Structure 1
Amino acid sequence: MNSMVLKSFIGLRKSSSEPTHFAVHQKYATISFPQKLKVIAEKTSPKLQGRNLRVAIVGGGPAGGSAAETLAKGGIETFLIERKMDNCKPCGGAIPLCMVGEFDLPLDIIDRRVTKMKMISPSNVAVDIGRTLKPHEYIGMVRREVLDAYLRDRAKENGATIINGLFLKMDMPKDKNSPYVLHYSGYDGKTGGVGEKRTLEVDAVIGADGANSRVAKAIDAGDYEYAIAFQERIKIPDEKMVYYENLAEMYVGDDVSPDFYGWVFPKCDHVAVGTGTVTHKADIKKFQLATRKRAEDKIIGGKIIRVEAHPIPEHPRPRRQGGWPLWGMQPGM
Structure 2
Amino acid sequence: MSPPSSPETFDAVIIGGGPAGATAANDLARHGHHVLLLDRAGRIKPCGGAIPPRLIAEFEIPDHLLVARISSARMVSPSNRDVDMPIDGGFVGMVDREHYDEWLRARAAEGGAIRRTGTFSELTRDKNGTAVVHYETRADDGRMQHASARARAVIGADGAISAVARQCIPQASEMRYVFAYHEIIRSPDRSHPVFDAARCDVVYRGRLSPDFYSWVFPHGPTTSIGTGSAHKGFSLRGSVAEFRKAAALDDLDTIRREGAPIPLKPLSRWDNGRDVVLAGDASGVVAPASGEGIYYAMAGGRAAADAVALFLKTGDAAALATARKSFMRRHGAVFFILGLMQRYWYTSDARRERFVAICRDKDVQQLTWDAYMNKELVRAKPLSHVRIFFKNIAHLTGLARAA
Q: Partner of 1:70: helix, strand, or coil?
A: helix
Hey, what does 1:291 align to over in structure 2? 243
C-alpha displacement at 1:212, in angstroms?
Answer: 1.1
TM-score, with normalisation over the residues of structure 1?
0.77
Query: Does the CA-based 8 Å contact 1:164-1:188 persist in structure 2?
Result: no
Task: Report percent identity of matched pairs.
Answer: 36
Query: Does the CA-based 8 Å contact 2:72-2:200 persist in structure 1?
Result: yes
Hey, what does 1:113 align to over in structure 2? 69
Pair 120,69 (structure 1): closer, same or farther in 2 beyond 3 Å: same
User: How do 1:78-117 and structure 2 match up within 5 A?
Assistant: 78-84=35-41, 86-91=42-47, 93-117=49-73
C-alpha displacement at 1:318, in angstroms?
Answer: 4.7
In 1, the alpha carbon distance for the partners of 2:224 and 2:196 equals 11
Q: Partner of 1:330: helix, strand, or coil?
A: helix
> Structure 1 regions of 5+ residues with no counterpart?
1-50
In 2, the alpha carbon distance for the partners of 1:80 and 1:168 equals 15
C-alpha displacement at 1:317, in angstroms?
Answer: 2.8
Pair 148,262 (structure 1): closer, same or farther in 2 beyond 3 Å: same
Pair 64,92 (structure 1): closer, same or farther in 2 beyond 3 Å: farther
Hey, what does 1:66 align to over in structure 2? 23
- The structure richer in helix per residue is 2
- Amino acid aligned to 1:234: I
Pair 125,148 (structure 1): closer, same or farther in 2 beyond 3 Å: same
- Amino acid aligned to 1:75: G
C-alpha displacement at 1:100, in angstroms?
Answer: 0.5
> Structure 2 regions of 5+ residues with no counterpart?
1-7, 286-403
In 2, the alpha carbon distance for the partners of 1:67 and 1:244 equals 36
Whether 1:305 and 2:259 are equivalent positions in the alignment is no
Q: Partner of 1:75: helix, strand, or coil?
A: coil
Pair 236,173 (structure 1): closer, same or farther in 2 beyond 3 Å: same
Query: Does the CA-based 8 Å contact 2:187-2:220 persist in structure 1?
Result: no
Pair 52,195 (structure 1): closer, same or farther in 2 beyond 3 Å: closer
- Amino acid aligned to 1:184: Y
Hey, what does 1:142 align to over in structure 2? 95
In 2, the alpha carbon distance for the partners of 1:109 and 1:279 equals 34
Pair 198,116 (structure 1): closer, same or farther in 2 beyond 3 Å: same
Query: After superposition, what is the alpha-carbon deviation per residue over 1:1-32, rounded to whole angstroms, capped at 9, x for unaligned?
Result: xxxxxxxxxxxxxxxxxxxxxxxxxxxxxxxx
Hey, what does 2:181 align to over in structure 1? 230
C-alpha displacement at 1:188, in angstroms?
Answer: 6.4
Q: Partner of 1:253: helix, strand, or coil?
A: coil
Query: Does the CA-based 8 Å contact 1:236-1:300 persist in structure 2?
Result: no
Worse-matched range after superposition: 165-174 or 237-246: 237-246
Query: After superposition, what is the alpha-carbon deviation per residue over 1:220-264, rounded to whole angstroms, capped at 9, x for unaligned?
Result: 332211011100011144335794221111111111101111100
Pair 291,92 (structure 1): closer, same or farther in 2 beyond 3 Å: closer
In 2, the alpha carbon distance for the partners of 1:60 and 1:200 equals 16
Query: Does the CA-based 8 Å contact 2:160-2:282 persist in structure 1?
Result: yes
Query: Does the CA-based 8 Å contact 1:114-1:247 persist in structure 2?
Result: yes
Aligned length: 273
Worse-matched range after superposition: 180-189 or 225-234: 180-189
Whether 1:218 and 2:167 are equivalent positions in the alignment is yes
Worse-matched range after superposition: 218-227 or 201-210: 218-227
Q: Partner of 1:260: helix, strand, or coil?
A: coil
- Amino acid aligned to 1:331: S
Q: Partner of 1:279: helix, strand, or coil?
A: coil
In 2, the alpha carbon distance for the partners of 1:128 and 1:270 equals 22
In 2, the alpha carbon distance for the partners of 1:291 and 1:234 equals 13
- The structure richer in strand per residue is 1
Pair 305,92 (structure 1): closer, same or farther in 2 beyond 3 Å: closer
- Amino acid aligned to 1:163: R
